[in-house]
Structure 1
């Protein structure tokens, strides 16, 4: 068993002491797994699941600890058990392949009578993760300030950390080419051409700003991640003075942005805004958009009924990956536009859900292949299992359609 650092992973190093809840978790999981084409195997040779010998295998290493974590917190314990090494995949099973059957039936795993009691066991979002100005900075730093070098080990040369847009007719297309297509899709949707005044909310590591400047646009890009900003500035300088002179990077919260822009773009940033601040986010976009301008955002989404069910609950992703994060529905976006802008509405959309599944698979393959390099930056085995689970978990969600991602064009009603 790999040693777990107690100071860094206090929620992982200790196994909950909840024997009654552990038995209840076992009682619920067994019939659920027996309806899924997987194999859940135990050290003593016992197995659950309806899958045959070639089905994805979930191998319980420490069953007692696994069920204890699952019983203590169903939404968080499953991922924590993987981080702790309480379970793993079979030798011939890919992690996302195993998680996919669960994602396909996630709403059917728990009996309806117990689903109605979820309000009694769901943990609410911690107040500390609210996306106030100070809270947003803390939440963003927790993820994006991990290490630029770490992200570089698995991202493509553009350093794009969002869904790519692949050409389905080119199965061997590079990730970099697909990411540039994604960026061009956003810029095209916002009508970015020579002389366009562009505001980018969420700079990332600068690839979109460079691409817009290459079109001759004047770009203001804002971020609250100091680590990303530092590398983005280096990349702007490396692109040459003709590009760098067209880009103004500001360390500023979107709520404090000023100016007037012909195009406003934002890629997978709305998920970090938080439901409480969506009205502020869209009202600010509306305030800064010039007459006749266009907005293009890339947003991860989920079905509206799932959003309504989960919007106030606290899950594994929020605890370990994106504190303060919340995925909207398309309906929630439409409602906020209608209520908090002067006529902005969605006038075009394009789904990249399956492209995201492919992107995540490529990231995970690169991350695992580069683990020795990642490890050199101070990351331990528990982090590796956490990151692997995060990438595979998201891949399964997109591949099954449980979550989606859209490029959305917005304009004011004529």
Structure 2
């Protein structure tokens, strides 16, 4: 396999749009921390089944050329970014073209499998001093939550249409076979939605609340069963397209899609559904989120969510940390752990688990298909006004997410609750 060692960097980086990508850390501290980061990175890479190739011909790692290969085009610049800003710097280094890979998802999967082992224990003690703290401006108050959601979901409906399937569903599918075929994605998304509707008991005459509309596929499938659906979103772009799709399906008389914060909803519903929305709620607001679900579900009803999770110890360690994903992809977000979900429901609500199933491998396949489509449609994305730095950013985001599920670092569950317990808090 031939490796392209030419400098891989966008022709221009718009410093107004990407100030921290355009600016390389400088000064004595950046040089020293960069040198330390370089030594640690090379040490870590040598222990993994990957190859790292440098411009001077140095190759670190296994000799097998078929293994995932990372090509470092600007070693000192990458090291300074990582030394100064950790994983944020690593991501910004990819956005700037300081490094590339022949198999970015495979490379990040190997890093993900050994994530907790790559930094020596003696240095892990200093983690609280080195990480970047999450800005308070991203905390999900009602006003800020709408800004945070808009920053991602209001980018462009046309952008999402380039890599999503015809259902415009932006969450894990549920495949009947793996590895998944791209042509099976739309049906797998419908299968995922139908399973969630089934576990929530949605049928003729059901009164349904959906928290987080997406682009309307769940609304359509629930209404087609004869349910009446109240769906809420904070994305004006999603609301607009979801309403169009519901109308085109001839179901507008059964579906209301409202621009509304989940905390402001009133009423009583037979089924309360929320697909991959808890990740945007924020650590401080998880108890309120579940209390709201508990308040809105009728006696005898069901709450069904789809939630991405991370290990509990990593969640606790990173809950106040500012990450690359928060800075560039999902401001204000944090993945919960299964322990956090159980703790929040059992301590604060009547909600008790009645069904739970993992879709981890399905999400890895879903993300692979999205990433491959996104890369194939590079020119179409550029025609929408998104530059090369944005393209690298989103390719890294999709690959990073895929790697998280393939490595087992991340999981995703369809989780169904019934209001059968007793609250442990005073309402």
Equivalent position of 1:76 in the other structure:
88
Aligned partner of 1:157 among 166, 177, 180: 166
Equivalent position of 1:148 in the other structure:
157
| Cα shift at 1:53 | 2.5
| Cα shift at 1:280 | 1.1
| Cα shift at 1:207 | 0.4
Q: How does 1:60-99 map to 2 (within 5 A)?
A: 60-89=72-101, 93-99=102-108
Residue ranges of structure 2 left out of the alignment (5+ in a row): 1-8, 422-427
Does residue 366 of the first structure (1) align with residue 373 of the second (2)?
yes
Does residue 196 of the first structure (1) align with residue 190 of the second (2)?
no
Relative to 1, partners in 2 of residues 1:154 and 1:298: Cα closer, same or farther, differing over 3 Å? same
Aligned partner of 1:355 among 362, 366, 383: 362
| Cα shift at 1:184 | 0.5
Alpha-carbon deviations, 1:271-307, whole Å to 9, x = none? 0001111111111111111110000000000121221
C-alpha separation between the residues in 2 aligned to 1:409 and 1:222?
A: 20
Q: Which moved more, 1:8-17 or 1:168-177?
A: 168-177
Aligned partner of 2:395 among 355, 370, 388: 388
Residue ranges of structure 1 left out of the alignment (5+ in a row): none
Aligned partner of 2:144 among 135, 158, 173: 135
Q: Secondary structure at the match of 1:107?
A: helix
Q: How does the TM-score come out when normalised to structure 2?
A: 0.94
CA-based RMSD? 1.1
C-alpha separation between the residues in 1 aligned to 2:180 and 2:265?
A: 41
Aligned partner of 2:330 among 289, 300, 322: 322
Equivalent position of 1:245 in the other structure:
253
Relative to 1, partners in 2 of residues 1:51 and 1:344: Cα closer, same or farther, differing over 3 Å? farther
| Cα shift at 1:269 | 0.1
Relative to 1, partners in 2 of residues 1:229 and 1:170: Cα closer, same or farther, differing over 3 Å? same
Q: Secondary structure at the match of 1:19?
A: helix
Alpha-carbon deviations, 1:145-177, whole Å to 9, x = none? 000000000000010000000002684351000
Equivalent position of 2:45 in the other structure:
33
Q: Secondary structure at the match of 1:328?
A: coil
- The answer to whether the 8 A contact 1:191-1:263 is kept is yes
C-alpha separation between the residues in 1 aligned to 2:265 and 2:125?
A: 43
| Cα shift at 1:374 | 1.1
- The answer to whether the 8 A contact 1:162-1:267 is kept is yes
Does residue 266 of the first structure (1) align with residue 274 of the second (2)?
yes
Equivalent position of 1:219 in the other structure:
229
Q: Secondary structure at the match of 2:288?
A: helix
C-alpha separation between the residues in 2 aligned to 1:116 and 1:239?
A: 56
Q: How does the TM-score come out when normalised to structure 1?
A: 0.97
C-alpha separation between the residues in 2 aligned to 1:169 and 1:59?
A: 30
Superposed structure 1 runs of 4+ greater than 3 Å apart: 169-173
Equivalent position of 2:196 in the other structure:
186
